[in-house]
Amino acid sequence: MQFHEIMELLRRRAVAPAELEGIADGLVELAASDDETWSGVWDAVLAEVRRMPPEARGALTDALAARLPAEGTGVARGNVLGLVAVIERTLPGRPGKWSAERGKVLGEVGRQHSLWFGKRYLTLAEAEFEDGRPFAPEVVATLRRSAMDAYGDDRLRALARQLTEPVLNVGEEWTERAMREAEDVPVLQALLRHATTATAARPTRAWERQAGALVEQLGAERVRAIVVPWLALVGRRTFELEHQEWEPDVNAAFDPYNANALRGLTWVLGMLPAHPDAVRALGALVESSLRKASGLGPRSPKTANAAVGALARLDGEPVLAELARLATRVTYKPVLRLIESVLEQRAEELGLSREEMEELAVSDYGLTEVGRTERQLGDFTAVVEVRGVKAALGWRSSAGKVVKSVPAAVKRDHAEELKELKAAVKDADKMLSAQSERLDRQFLADRVWPYAGWRERVLDHPLVGTLARRLLWTVDGTAVGFADGELRTLTDDPVREGGEVRLWHPVGCGSAEIVAWRDWLERHAITQPFKQAHREVYLLTDAERATGTYSNRFAGHVLRQHQFSSLAAVRGWRNKLRLMVDDSAPPATRELPQWGLRAEYWVHGEGHAFGADTTDSGSFLRLSTDQVRFYPIDAPQNWAACYGSDYRMRPSGGAAPVEPLSIADVPPLVLSEVLRDVDLFVGVASVGNDPTWQDGGPEGRYQEYWTSYGFGELSQSAETRRVLLERLVPRLAIADRCTVEGRFLHVTGSRRTYKIHLGSGNILMTPNDQYLCIVPKADPAAPQAGYLPFEGDRMTAVILSKAVLLADDARITDPTILSQL
């Protein structure tokens, strides 16, 4: 029976029993064909059914129930049950005969994130709720999440508001632990329930008054001791939700209903007296909330904002230190702006510059001298030492013997002190990484320190000093380094006073001075926390003088978009992911406020095939690169189509476009540092670095590029690596089998002779330059092949590790390598 025939019969009101049977057959057939939706067709049917006499409605319900599709038929069974439920609800006094069946269908939604086509399930849920049957906690969670959707149904929202149990959604470790611990504590249950009402960006006074009253009943110390461990579990699920391959990864995201409760709990922590555990937990929550989920972006920016807001309400140096650390780690712009505004406000309140305040806020983390402290715990001595950019905890017995692990007596008798010590080491570890990045950014910040303040807050600081003493500085224009307990010049003359201090940069220095400082560092066995004496310098080329307003030095590359975007964010650049849609985007940009400039790197989406060239969500996998340009910082933005077109500036109000600056007018240090960033993007994100791409990628399109990049001319960073290896290789145990020649490190093994490219790390074998694929393990903790004068250059370590392996190729056992030799 066709739909229009069903409607004609229903409109007649007085329907014969035989006709009711036909209507039931037609509706079941319609249910089976209605592809996962409860469309307007069903709304029209129900409108007519409601107008039928009660006796006819009851008979139609029975006829439909008799034709209920078998279990496993999914949509059809659910649609018929929904129709039965709706009709039964219009028959006062008639018991719901099909509650158990409805419950089974509703049970299907407990593993879904939300209901895309919710009316069918909503009808069943409403019928179950009116019958007084409780929903499974998983179903409650799905209904709540669905009600929070921007396109949610008003009926669904009304139903969700009545679902008060459980207080939080199941499926996340922190909520399930919280509900277990609150089970027999009514006040804690009330606090959790109150936390779920945190649906605004900031707490109201009324919200805070109610939260304060609940905290007072429990006690501030108890609340903090309970809540802080919950935050450590945020982001972990207890069961997986179903989702299709092309859908966002909902299991990596926060449950939006629980995220409101998280926001409320962070507000509560912000109301309590500051405590290191709470500060640490809030900072970790910011980072966890901003971790990206595939297809979604940051997991929960609103939770991150709330955690920053809570930190902003707390006082003390640990709070400032945590905010300063987050300012170096967070790349999500809205949250970063909030962090920076809080820091600026605190600096203004203290009458300090932002930089001075951040330096003053860095804790010593219990270190009693630069990079070291000892603490007696019973018969054992805990030794905390900074090694490189890591803090390490070691142990020594009363006899002076090194103990490899935490002594049992310390665990037993000093558990609380041990916990504090481990937390301090972990915090110091995080801060070391943040301070290393902050110092690296000081080149472009053009920072000047007064000598006395610099000694106190930087060079002699117990934590920061471990980094600063491995860098080069200028004191009143004289270059110095730290060795043998003092600042010293190239000739090792001590420097004990001064006026102004800056970070030393090789731009503007002669090659003889740069080489001399490299020798000085090696002579004193100093490993720098990042490249400084070996820092790449990018001077203006004749080609750039000829082009005038742009540099093509890093044009024509193919980069992995997501890797490029992540690296750009870490280096302070702003970039919008390109999607294969009709949209436009500005170039990757870095603002340089100290210089009044904005640097741009022009990139475009690369490829044309959805799937082969995109992720499932439609973002390009790869980008093609073009020019680097500089503009005044307040110039209007350039824009181009995401899939590739010329960048154009569109000033408002009919104003003329702003011309780019002449490359020759850009300060040499700025030009060098910006091009170094871009070289880093290419060096890390280029598909030419991937040893598995020798086939040229999709359809072999990038074969020529991969070959030219993987074995072609060296970039400036690779040239720096070549100079370094020329110094290091003669000192290696395999020196008699290695030589640096041109673009390659040549290694003589027992089976073959190998050429390792100094830019990409790719390998060719004699006699016919056959390619050898060796994929390095992504293990930053793996031991390095010998001394390196700086940290952070993974490619140099990869090249050296390959050289050590191939020099003794007779001992190679990996079958994937042996099959190629």
Token pair of 193, please?
A: 């329930």
pLDDT at position 101 is 62
pLDDT tier for residue 448 given thresholds of 50, 70 and 90: very high
Q: Which burial class, exposed, middle or buried, applies to 614 when counting CB atoms under 10 A from its CB (0-12, 13-18, 19+)?
A: buried
For the beta carbon of residue 419, count every other beta carbon within 10 angstroms.
Answer: 11
pLDDT at position 73 is 47
Cα(496)–Cα(488) distance, integer angstroms: 9
Q: Which of 435, 447, 434 is nearest to 474 (CA)?
A: 447
For residue range 266-298, list pLDDT tens digits in order.
999 999 999 989 999 999 999 999 988 877 788
Q: Measure Cα distances from 755 to 417, 718, 732 in Å.
A: 54, 15, 17
Cβ atoms of 666 and 599 within 8 Å: the answer is no
For the beta carbon of residue 542, count every other beta carbon within 10 angstroms.
Answer: 6
What is the per-residue burial (b if ≥16 Cβ within 10 Å, else e) of 545-561?
Answer: eeeebbbebbeebbbbb
pLDDT tier for residue 727 given thresholds of 50, 70 and 90: confident
Give backbone dihedrals phi and psi of 300, rounded to 5 degrees, phi first.
-160, 80
Q: Which burial class, exposed, middle or buried, applies to 364 when counting CB atoms under 10 A from its CB (0-12, 13-18, 19+)?
A: middle
pLDDT at position 747 is 93
Cα(41)–Cα(124) distance, integer angstroms: 18
Q: Measure Cα distances from 343 to 207, 305, 352, 427 in Å.
A: 26, 14, 11, 20
Cβ atoms of 46 and 83 within 8 Å: the answer is yes
pLDDT tier for residue 670 given thresholds of 50, 70 and 90: very high
For residue 369, what is the DSSP state? Answer: B
pLDDT tier for residue 143 given thresholds of 50, 70 and 90: confident
pLDDT at position 783 is 45
Kindly calculate the radius of gyration of the chain based on its CA atoms and give it in whole angstroms: 33
For residue range 244-264, list pLDDT tens digits in order.
666 778 888 899 999 999 999
pLDDT at position 14 is 67
For all residues of the chain together, what is the average pLDDT?
86
pLDDT at position 650 is 83
For residue range 596-615, list pLDDT tens digits in order.
999 999 999 998 888 888 88
For residue range 493-535, list pLDDT tens digits in order.
999 999 999 999 999 899 899 999 999 999 999 999 999 999 9
Lowest mean pLDDT among 50-64, 276-290, 344-358: 50-64
Paired strand residues for 605:
623
Higher-pLDDT residue of 618, 33:
618
For residue 687, what is the DSSP state? Answer: G
Cβ atoms of 149 and 118 within 8 Å: the answer is no
Amino acid sitting at position 408:
A
Q: Quick one: three-class SS letters along 259-271?
A: HHHHHHHHHHHHH
pLDDT at position 625 is 94
Place of tokens 């939770």: 303
Cα(503)–Cα(444) distance, integer angstroms: 10
pLDDT at position 36 is 42
pLDDT at position 55 is 78
Token pair of 399, please?
A: 């006899």
pLDDT at position 467 is 96
Q: Which burial class, exposed, middle or buried, applies to 683 when counting CB atoms under 10 A from its CB (0-12, 13-18, 19+)?
A: buried
Amino acid sitting at position 373:
T
Q: Measure Cα distances from 484 to 291, 459, 487 in Å.
A: 43, 14, 8
Q: Which of 73, 64, 65 is nearest to 45 (CA)?
A: 64
Cβ atoms of 366 and 377 within 8 Å: the answer is no
For residue 252, what is the DSSP state? Answer: G
Place of tokens 């006499």: 53
Lowest mean pLDDT among 89-98, 598-607, 670-679: 89-98
Q: Which of 310, 290, 309 is nearest to 300 (CA)?
A: 290
Q: Measure Cα distances from 106 to 90, 118, 161, 172, 590 in Å.
A: 21, 11, 18, 21, 51
pLDDT tier for residue 103 given thresholds of 50, 70 and 90: low
pLDDT at position 697 is 80
What is the per-residue burial (b if ≥16 Cβ within 10 Å, else e) of 18-28?
Answer: eebbbbbebbb
pLDDT at position 266 is 96
Q: What is the number of residues in the chain?
A: 821
Cβ atoms of 110 and 136 within 8 Å: the answer is yes
For residue 462, what is the DSSP state? Answer: T
Cβ atoms of 250 and 187 within 8 Å: the answer is no
Residue 782 above 60 pLDDT?
A: no
pLDDT at position 42 is 65
Residue 99 above 60 pLDDT?
A: no
Residue 120 above 70 pLDDT?
A: no
Cα(168)–Cα(152) distance, integer angstroms: 20
For residue range 299-320, list pLDDT tens digits in order.
999 999 999 999 999 988 889 8
For residue 656, what is the DSSP state? Answer: P
For residue range 202-224, list pLDDT tens digits in order.
999 999 999 999 999 999 999 99
Lowest mean pLDDT among 39-43, 421-425, 781-785: 781-785
pLDDT at position 359 is 87
Residue 133 above 90 pLDDT?
A: no
For residue range 624-664, list pLDDT tens digits in order.
999 999 999 999 999 999 887 789 998 877 788 999 999 99
pLDDT at position 780 is 47
Lowest mean pLDDT among 77-86, 277-286, 317-326: 77-86
Residue 39 above 60 pLDDT?
A: no
